[in-house]
Amino acid sequence: MARRGQEFEEKQKLGITKGLRKSEAIIKRDLKLISQSYTREYPLVVDRGSGVNIWDVDGNQYLDFSSGVAVANIGHANPDVVKAIRDQAEKIIHNASTDFYNKPIVSLAEELFDITPGKFPKRVFYTNSGTESNECAFKLARWFTRKHRMISFLGSFHGRTFGSMTLTAAKAVQRDHFSPLVPGVIHAPFPHPYRTLYNPETCDNDCIAYLEDVILKKIVPEDEVAGVIVEPIQGEEGYIVPPKNFHKKLQKFCKSHGFLYIVDEVQTGFARSGKWFASEVYGVEPDIITMAKGIAGGLPMGACIAKKDIMAWPKGSHASTFAGNPVCCQAALASINYIKKNKLWNNAEKLGKYGLKFLSDLQDEVHMIGDVRGLGLMLAVELVKSRRTKAPAKHEAVKALHKAFHNGLLLLPGGESTIRVIPPLIITKEDFETGLEILRATLKEL
């Protein structure tokens, strides 16, 4: 902690950075040229990355507890992925997999089918992002069932394109002035043990009861519902971990009514939960599973995988120019092989438990911490003004992100006042402890 923090302070004293001198110049250009719809949390201008570290254009080094929003699971500039990208790029970069065949998309499909939940026959549609994966799932559910309604959850985040944005219910600004949205989507309460409208001990049962007794009896007839889409753990909302039996109960609900059970593993996939996919933690096998982020070592890629009889739509019903890009596929193969070779799910599970205990102990020291939660290397600290009222400490959360940044640690927000801890899965216990100590010092200073 001292080394990273001191390094930054010493450079400032010497006038080397002068408040991130090179960074400020680039930020000024950005403000003139780039859509400011992006949510930059603090003035980090990235130059390069390696493993668990990031360097900015002023030469300052940071420990990355953001992983590019759970993308860099195997670290930045992973050598295996870099080699796979270089080797494939020397052959061909793009060949329109929607029009012609190639080996990488087939090899990757075989790997994905092996690691995704369920040993039944599957098919895959490749995408370029998480939102496209969820758009694919939405379209596929409607096509297969010939029904148009979908059930999603309050607090969910499934993407920003029109279908996935309609499924999303995380922040009002994400929908503001974009209506009308895609019709037929209904949102239900998600079992949030800390901020539940119900009893925390029974919130999973209460949310299922809401689906049965309110949505199906008072809002929509069940014969119009195509499916239910859900995140195993709500990411954007600040890693909301539902009670352990919720997903089994939800899948049972879907099966009893003939709804497709669709699980969005965009943020929770590729060993981050301590398993290949968080669905395995909860003992469920989705009819459709979506993924992206950690799939290809940092390249823009995603996938929608469904049971073979569900993904039986005809030629031309869905396609994408860049879907199954051979470079991205080879990067994904290298990334999956690296996770396998190093059994990174073990590190995620072990350090996740350590981090959860560390943050729970910190809660006794810092009364501003209202809740600590997480699974694997998806951890969250929710800040409140008062533990009694649970009023979100929004200003303090923003201040904490900035202070941590100036102390050499990169973090991301979630929900209204939550700090997410999302380090690369390759992180050592020593580096993990360093980052947690920076976070501790930051919160105690506040």
pLDDT at 8: 43
pLDDT at 3: 45
Q: What is the distance of C-alpha 34 from the center of its chain?
A: 24
pLDDT at 198: 85
CATH class of 2-70+344-445: alpha beta
Whole-angstrom distance, CA of residue 8 vs CA of residue 2: 10
Are 298 and 71 in contact by the 8 Å Cβ rule? The answer is: yes
Whole-angstrom distance, CA of residue 44 vs CA of residue 36: 15
Evaluate the CA torsion angle 249, 225, 151, 133 in order and state its sign. Answer: positive
Whole-angstrom distance, CA of residue 277 vs CA of residue 114: 12
pLDDT at 196: 87
Query: Token digits for 259?
Result: 């709804």
Are 382 and 370 in contact by the 8 Å Cβ rule? The answer is: yes
Task: Say which residues have a Cβ less than 8 Å from residue 83's Cβ, sequence separation at least 6.
Answer: 334
Query: Token digits for 336?
Result: 């999956």
**Domain positions in the chain:** 2-70+344-445, 81-342
- For the entire predicted model, the pTM comes to 0.94
Average pLDDT, the chain: 94
Under CATH, what is the fold of the domain 81-342? Aspartate Aminotransferase; domain 2 (3.40.640)
pLDDT at 205: 96
pLDDT at 96: 87
The answer to whether domain 2-70+344-445 and domain 81-342 are alike in fold is no
Residues of the chain with pLDDT under 70: 1-19
